[in-house]
Chain A
């Protein structure tokens, strides 16, 4: 009892910060429940990648291999993980609530007949967990009944696990998959091309909203500031819906949840759905010409100004600072 299986999502052989937060949460949970933390790395040939996660404090790494796990598909992955969880006798299965974690884990929970808590932000000492509901306006304390419990963790609520100590053993296992039951086909992945840091990895995020007025202005007004700061670029739902920027830049209740050291909101009014995605940032800075905009209520530093004037001024000022 008490063993924790951590689904270690990887992107082309490396583990993003989001995965390391699930490892951290899994280690914390195993410690509190008196069990072992076991990382699982899945793929058609996951052994080499699995070795990478062995240094992060887990007791064991399982390289779960099967040709059907080459590209991620929910049905194959749910089959493989459910069989493994039963075989290992795990009490908890944990992943980060990335697009993949959100897609896979409810299916896995149903396959196991297990209860699931989505996007937990805290692990309590009394068997309960905390998770945000109503766009982060209500924090629910929840409990899961049953021998197996399924959890996704909110990446911004936990630190990333750090490497150190001896590498855990890596054990290769062939996944149990009934290939005849697989009905999904991977067609293609169209990656958003960007040289900037990813939203969930960045120390600084500059986000633009409807106030930018056009996609072109993201390039001419916002991007110089983003690049001067070495920041990631984000956007409000309004900006994404208007087609100014691609969908994966959306920060909010239904987009990405972020908590960087500095979040600069430009031309964003601050609807509760947007605040839900960024209000845990360490420092929030807002630029908006409407002094009544709700974003100012959560901003540590608010500037009521025309963004088309203020943003280039900030960019200039940061340039000067770097050269001083």
Chain B
């Protein structure tokens, strides 16, 4: 089975994010860049499917030259090759989905597995948009994927429980936290990754509409919550919640 895994470069989730004083972006000095954690889970799932059957795992990313680092990390985890669609302008989810749909049209994968959301813009859109553009089934927030013959069933984490849906390939799956525990890149894996193919394509050579429909005007820090008061005992806590906060 051939699996396409779109991935995104984001600040390390443990990084404290600061907004630039003019609200034009975030401060990127001292930011460590990593593969979006949900994308790592997507790579892991693709590798596991490939290891059970045969096939190929192709990574794709849409961003600047520096994004090669994260693609190399994915190759070191075990992906076979990678495509970087290069652009220096900020694109919205719709444009990213159009680019990946175009790549999927050329690559013809059986499955596309992505992270359910990127932890920077928290949009949670690209997988669903891509499925619609390709006219494929979608299984978002997947916590279990089972592949039998040509039929796939996916357990999804939804409000109030777990839902199971089924469909045939080709399809789009987006990974939730508990789908798997991603592996680390091994030293031999890192060595091998250096020789794997990493192809660059210019985004504006693909002939897809890139002008964003969603535009960010400005960024700001949220109002800070004032906490920090310490209480001496459980008894005092209950008493304050009753008499002062009046919530119980």
Contact = CB atoms under 8 A, between A and B. Distances in A.
Q: Do A and B bind each other?
A: yes
Interface of A: 11, 73-75, 78, 98-100, 102-111, 113-119, 128, 132-146, 181, 183-192, 198, 200, 204, 229, 237, 240-241, 246-248, 253-254, 261-262, 272-273, 279, 282-285, 287, 291, 296-305, 309-311, 313-314, 317-318, 321
Nearest to B138: A74
28 contacts: A74-B128, A75-B137, A99-B158, A99-B159, A103-B158, A104-B128, A105-B128, A107-B128, A109-B94, A109-B125, A115-B94, A133-B120, A138-B26, A145-B215, A183-B168, A184-B165, A184-B167, A204-B247, A247-B143, A247-B176, A253-B122, A254-B119, A262-B248, A296-B230, A300-B229, A301-B229, A302-B227, A303-B232
Interface in B206-235: 212-222, 225, 227-235
B238 A134 contact: no
A229 B248 contact: yes
A314 B17 CA distance: 36
Contacts of B48: none
The interface centre, meaning the residue of B94, B164, B213, B229 with most chain A CB atoms within 10 A of its CB, is: B213
Given A78-B132, A100-B159, A188-B164, A141 B234 contact: no
Contacts of B156: 99
Contacts of A272: 13, 16
Interface in B71-97: 92-94, 97
B109 to A, nearest CB: 16
A301 B231 contact: yes
Please report whether the interface of chain B is mostly helix, strand, loop or mixed according to DSSP.
Answer: mixed
Given A106-B128, A135-B122, A181 B135 contact: yes
B177 interface: yes
Contacts of B124: 102, 106, 118
Contacts of A116: 93-94, 123, 125, 213-214
B133 interface: yes
B67 interface: no
The interface centre, meaning the residue of B125, B166, B171 with most chain A CB atoms within 10 A of its CB, is: B125
A110 B128 contact: yes
Contact of A73 (B26, B136, B165): B165
Given A108-B132, A133-B122, A190-B161, 4 more contacts: A73-B165, A128-B217, A299-B227, A317-B235
Contacts of A311: 234
Nearest to B141: A99
A287 B178 CA distance: 27
Contact of A254 (B117, B136, B219, B237): B117
Given A135-B119, A142-B216, A262-B245, A303 B128 contact: no
B129 interface: yes
Contacts of A190: 161-164
Interface residues of B, number: 83
A314 B228 CA distance: 20
Nearest to A203: B247
Contacts of A305: 233-234
The interface centre, meaning the residue of B26, B93, B123, B133 with most chain A CB atoms within 10 A of its CB, is: B123
Contacts of B117: 254
A285 B177 contact: no
Nearest to B213: A115
Given A185-B166, A302-B230, A139 B215 contact: no
Contact of A189 (B161, B166, B232): B161
A254 B119 CA distance: 9
B108 interface: no
B188 interface: no
Contacts of A237: 177
Contacts of B158: 99-100, 103, 189, 248
A247 B142 CA distance: 12
B70 interface: no
Nearest to B26: A138
The interface centre, meaning the residue of A115, A253, A279 with most chain B CB atoms within 10 A of its CB, is: A115
Contacts of A309: 234
B140 interface: yes
A286 to B, nearest CB: 8
Nearest to B126: A106
Contacts of A189: 158, 161-164
Contacts of A98: 159
Nearest to A111: B132
The interface centre, meaning the residue of A110, A132, A262, A283 with most chain B CB atoms within 10 A of its CB, is: A110
Contacts of A118: 122-125
